[in-house]
Structures are given as C-alpha cells and as structure tokens.
C-alpha cells in the first residue's frame, strides 16, 4: 500500500466522464492519463468516439495534435484540436477496428510543436476491444 496524498493545483486528477484526460500545466507540459471512465466495447467496422477532457493551466493556444503508432487492423481518426486557452475544453477522436479483436495502441498528445525535453508524460496506451 502507498500513501497517496491528494495532488493539488495543476496536477490534480481531472473529474470527467471522458476516458482520457489531458492536462497542460503552467509550464505548458502536456500530460495525458486514463480517467476512471470506461472506453466501452467497439463494434467491428464502426467508428467509436473517444472523448478527451483538456484542462489547460498554461494558457496554451493553437493545435493539440494526437499521434499514434500504427497498429494492424486499427484505424484512427485523429483531428487536430484547437486549443483556445480556455481552462477546460472537450475534444474527441475516433477509432475503428476492422474485426473482432483486442489491440493495444499508444497515443501521444502534443501541443506547441517546439517543446521537447521533459514532455514525456504525454503518452498513454489504450486497450481497445471489438466484439460482435
């Protein structure tokens, strides 16, 4: 067991019904994490929308891009989301599996293309499952 002191301020857990939460801290670091909300089961051949809640503590504006490593049988529709600088925004992307299967996909969220360094919490892996 671990002592889990509640995080505060910029880095606290995001209260959301979306399965993914992106936080941008005051230093414009992008973090992404699974929330407690379920992803659900996909139907083969049908697009499934995954909601993303963005909490922006960095006043960052401009594109929030999502990148993914290719996974056989998985199609991704990853539109670039426009950050307005608002503290909380809703975003979404779509996934489709060709056939009943289970895949593990790694997604990377990027804002401010020039940032590198420690922006290494911006990756999350998702288990996607499709059943008839």
**Which residues are at the interface with another protein (CB under 8 A)?**
1-5, 7-11, 25-29, 31, 34, 36, 38, 57-62, 71-72, 83, 85, 101-104, 106, 112-118, 120-121, 125, 127, 129
Shortest distance, position 112 Cβ to another protein, whole Å: 5
Specify the residue, 29 or 96, whose C-beta has the smaller distance to another protein: 29
Specify the residue, 34 or 94, whose C-beta has the smaller distance to another protein: 34
Shortest distance, position 12 Cβ to another protein, whole Å: 9
Specify the residue, 27 or 77, whose C-beta has the smaller distance to another protein: 27
Shortest distance, position 90 Cβ to another protein, whole Å: 19
- In DSSP notation, the chain reads ----PPP-GGGSPP--SSSEEEEE-TT--EEEEE-SS---PBPTTS-EEEEEEEEESS--EEEEEEEE---TTEEEE-PPEEEES-SEEEEEEEEEESSSEEEEEEEEEEESTT--TT--S-EEEEEEEE--
């Amino acid at each position: 067991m671990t002592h889990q002191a509640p995080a505060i301020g910029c880095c606290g857990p995001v209260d959301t019904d979306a399965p993914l939460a992106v936080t941008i801290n005051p230093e414009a670091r992008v973090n992404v994490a699974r929330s407690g909300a379920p992803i659900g089961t996909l139907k083969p051949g049908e697009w499934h929308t995954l909601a993303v809640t963005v909490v922006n503590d960095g006043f960052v504006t401009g594109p929030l891009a999502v990148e993914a490593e290719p996974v056989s049988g998985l199609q991704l529709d990853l539109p670039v989301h426009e950050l307005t600088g608002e503290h909380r925004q809703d975003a979404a992307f779509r996934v489709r599996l060709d056939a009943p299967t289970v895949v593990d996909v790694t997604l990377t969220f990027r804002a401010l293309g020039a940032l590198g360094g420690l922006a290494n919490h911006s990756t999350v892996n998702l288990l996607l499952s499709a059943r008839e």
